A and B are shown apart, each in its own frame.
Chain A
């Protein structure tokens, strides 16, 4: 079964706006990662945040982690049409990662 759950399931915004998506998980983790998937393609790693970190930045991406609430958020600032994709959080679980069901982001030009 999948451990992470993203919210919302779908998000539609205008180009230039910020997009925020959330991930909740069930058990303790060592790290949490966010991936992007364009339609029909493989996953691209965006950012990793370790359990002892609270916030991390990478370009237009900002990830937060609250281990007490077992949740993480991904903020994409100044969105572009090319950001249109599905976004997944993944939590470590032994030899594998558990992926959520994803947030489908549409950025309207």
Chain B
């Protein structure tokens, strides 16, 4: 399977714990995006990488959130001191051109 992969698919954590998600994009795609989707809503933009450079961050990405893409390949999204409001589906997408995107299956986070 050469699509976008995300790990883990599901994560349950207690409030206050740190969590880290990983996204492996399609190998030739230099653009990578993170989105967050809460129940019944559409995806909301979090951040965008072109190669290893983080070029845009949403206001939604508070100080507790950090994303990296070392070497321009896989990316990680870390949430520190999780809160119940962080419970959501975290989606990763990659693109070669910025026009057509391939989405991963998402990581569903539940904060108890």
Chain A residues within 8 Å of B, Cβ to Cβ: 2, 4, 31, 35, 40-45, 48, 88, 92, 94-102
Contacts and interface: CB of A to CB of B under 8 A. Distances in A.
Contacts of A45: 100-103
A95 B55 contact: yes
A40 B109 CA distance: 12
A97 B101 contact: yes
Contact of B106 (A42, A88, A92, A99): A42
Given A4-B42, A44-B103, A95 B108 contact: no
27 contacts: A2-B42, A2-B44, A31-B99, A35-B103, A42-B91, A42-B103, A42-B104, A42-B106, A43-B91, A43-B93, A45-B100, A48-B100, A88-B43, A92-B99, A94-B56, A95-B48, A95-B56, A96-B33, A96-B45, A96-B48, A97-B45, A97-B101, A98-B45, A99-B35, A99-B44, A101-B40, A101-B42
Interface of B: 4, 6, 33, 35, 40-45, 48, 55-56, 89, 91, 93, 98-106, 108
Nearest to B92: A42
Contacts of A95: 48, 55-56, 98
Contacts of B105: 41-42
Nearest to B49: A95
A100 B43 CA distance: 8
A2 B35 CA distance: 12
Contacts of A96: 33, 45, 48, 56
A48 B42 contact: no
B39 to A, nearest CB: 10
B58 to A, nearest CB: 8
Nearest to A100: B42
A75 B35 CA distance: 26
